[in-house]
A and B are shown apart, each in its own frame.
Chain A
Amino acid sequence: MTLAQARALKSALDEAIAKAEADGTDAVDLQQSLSSALGGALDELNAAIDAAYK
């Protein structure tokens, strides 16, 4: 695992833990958090593409 991957994982874990704490549950949905992170990254890429086309 690269440092960049580890950072992405840590970010997703932090987000998933924060959500579980906010929800008052002991269950953490890591996969959901990772999927959201990937979706966010795709949104950023889409925005960069749009800007580059203009």
Chain B
Amino acid sequence: MIRVPCLAALAAVALAGCATTPAPATVDLASGPQPQPAGSQMIVVGTLSTNYCESMVAPYYTQAIVGINAATSRVRAGTLTPDQGVRIFNLGRIARNSFDIACPNAVINVPALQAGQSAVNAINDILEGTK
């Protein structure tokens, strides 16, 4: 949950703000999920950083939304087959399920973020490969 005043700052700095604690050195969320060494799959960001975790997950949702919307437009236009649409739909569900569990209780769930991002990348690959 984030506070309304923080939302204004959130939009103003394109999701880079609202953090009261700096990002852990092991998680470079500005450039996307990074591979983590074994044993560090759950990274505690801090007790005050549920805002931060939520703001870090947001761009991944928007990537998925944009990809799904593009697929919808292309299925309607006939430039994407229904079967390709189904593949993208299934990947979109994976992405959503992954992102929904990526931010539990002030913890960034890196594997969930990575799984969701992989699904979004696969969506984009299909869209790019069928232009």
- Measured CB to CB, the residues of A under 8 A from B are 1-2, 4-6, 8-10, 12-13, 16-17, 20, 26-31, 34-35, 37-39, 41-42, 44-46, 48-49, 51-53
Contact = CB atoms under 8 A, between A and B. Distances in A.
B7 A28 contact: yes
A38 B61 contact: yes
B54 A31 contact: yes
Given A30-B2, A41-B92, A49-B82, A5 B103 contact: no
Contacts, number: 121
B57 interface: yes
Given A5-B66, A39-B96, A41-B65, 8 more contacts: A12-B58, A26-B3, A31-B57, A31-B103, A34-B62, A38-B68, A45-B92, A49-B75
Given A30-B7, A35-B96, A52-B75, A42 B89 contact: yes
Contacts of B95: 38
A42 to B, nearest CB: 5
Interface string B33-66: 0000000000000000000001101110111111
A1 B92 contact: no
Given A1-B14, A1-B62, A9-B62, A46 B89 contact: yes
20 contacts: A4-B66, A5-B65, A8-B65, A8-B69, A12-B62, A17-B7, A27-B3, A28-B4, A34-B57, A35-B61, A37-B65, A38-B96, A41-B69, A42-B68, A44-B69, A46-B89, A49-B75, A52-B75, A52-B82, A53-B82
A13 B7 CA distance: 8
* From B14, B62, B96, residue with most partner A Cβ within 10 Å: B62
Contacts of A53: 82
